[in-house]
Amino acid sequence: MMNVLALEFPPVTHLFEWPDFLFTDTPVALNKTGAIYVLALLLTAGLFWAAGRRRALVPVGAQTVAETGIEFVESNIIMQTIGPDGRRYLPLLTTMFFFIFFSNIFGVIPLVQFPANSRMAIPLALALVVWVIYHYVGIRTQGFFGYFKGSLFPPGVPWPLYILVAPIELLQILLIRPLSLAIRLWANMVAGHLLLVSFAVLSAALWGAGFIPAALPFFALILITAFEIFVSALQAFIFTILTAVYIGGSLHPQH
Amino acid sequence: MSRRLWVVAGVLVGTIAFSASAAGAVGETVGSCIFEELEEAQFDGIEGEGLSAVKNLKDRYKAGDEHAEEIKTDFEADLEDCIEAPNPILPEVTEIIWGGAAFVVLLALMRWKLFPVVKNLMEQRTQRIQDSIDDADRTRAEAMEVKASYEAELLDAKTEAARIVDEARQQAGVVRADLQARAEADIAEMRERAAADVEASKRQAIADLQTEVSDIALGAAEAVLAHNLENPEVQRQLIDDYINSVGAGQLGQQG
């Protein structure tokens, strides 16, 4: 059980690296990170299943959470970045938001206490999915040459500057966008997890010296835990809204 | 499932598989790395394989073999590489597989069933609320029409009432003027008649009085002056003149 549950402080190498506990020595070996992704799948699916089952006129419980999530993604992400024709991406972006949020929030869930996105797996995989989607949308909407011409040679720039701008833009749409998307999410969750572990270790270490010395880091630990809940939602929001921004840029190059 | 969904699913799986294959081998522990290095140890010019090769290397090194010392230095460097922390930014293949599979399954479930049910629920509610608002608007418009109709009727009634009152007032004025005129005429006639009656009565009274007084005076004069006045006509004339003068004096005092 020590391979999964956060019942004791792990060795430093296991802050982010977890040994396999199922299907070991196979290509589908499951460790804690993979298990959290499966839990995020079950939680999101369970939430929407429960929301669709109640069918109450005045929503309560899971229905409120699911409907608020959908409305939030639709009003605050899609309508702000893509516009009405971005509604077709609502299922994708809603799924992305909830999946990332649930993967993150396990960083503060007792006995789990590990944000799965502090591993690079899903941040990178999702960033690559986004990369494929926004290129596909851009090429489908503007054509191959139109898309790359619009991206590399933005209008309103004096032509000598294109020598500088075009390579930067090429790097941006091919590399910087997906990498920044992945690294932003990953690094934020790594930093949050390190902070939580540091203050937890500090509190435990100072507990031997008495209640008063341990109180300060413990109080900070509580504050950081609350802050991590906020960061979990914020990073899910940022990842989703940037995805919408990239898709919107491919759909409406004039903006 | 539509063809487009199959394409999307294919793109997602392909992307995740690509990122998984690019991930490389990370995540092995220090112990397993050292064990693997020892197990697979093979050195140029040293007999044996694995641990026996390491033992032979040790013997040669202790015997002062310079070549063995170089090999030992290289082998130590290889072993130290095992102690280096794994690159935290490189994702682990199994985590990408589990995370990617979880996301793809979740997205498929969401697109297939979970999301449309909740979204339809929201749209039905929106439609129901919109219908209620439309109904309320329609009812209010109808009520406003009825109210306007009633107000128009009320205004007509008020106008009619005012007209009737005006007419009645005018008629009353005419009747009053007529009655007043008639009453004034009656009064004037009655006053004239009364005046005439009074005049006639006065004249009659004066005449009666004159006759009576003259008779009395005559009688008295006869009695007093029977012997002094021989001509009765002269006597009468004298008495009448006297009475007239007396009567005029009395009337002047009464008037």
| Number of Cα atoms under 13 Å in the Cβ half of residue A107 | 34
Q: Which residues of B64-87 are buried (b: 16+ CB within 10 A; e: fewer)?
A: ebeebeebbeebeeeeeebeeebe
Are A52 and B109 an interchain contact pair (Cβ–Cβ within 8 Å)? no
Residue that wins the pLDDT comparison between B239 and A112? A112
Ranking B32-36, B171-175, B218-222 by mean pLDDT, the lowest is: B218-222
Q: Answer whether B83 touches A (CB < 8 Å).
A: no
B129 in contact with A, Cβ within 8 Å? no
Q: Are the Cβ atoms of B98 and A37 closer than 8 angstroms?
A: yes
Q: Which of A24, A39, A41 to probe the B interface (max B CBs under 10 A)?
A: A41
Residue A153, min C-alpha distance to chain B (Å): 28
Q: Which residues pair with A22 in a beta bridge?
A: A30
- Tens digit of each residue's pLDDT (9 = 90 or more) over B12-38: 566 545 444 333 323 456 677 788 888
Rg of chain B on CA atoms, in Å: 75
Overall pTM > 0.90? no
ipTM, two decimals: 0.91
The larger pLDDT score, comparing residue A134 to residue B70, is at A134
Task: Provide the chain B residues 2-21 that lie in CB contact (below 8 A) with chain A.
Answer: 11-12, 15-16, 18-20
Confidence of residue A13 (pLDDT cuts 50, 70, 90): low
Percentage of the residues of chain A whose pLDDT score is greater than 70:
94
Domain borders along chain A are 12-251
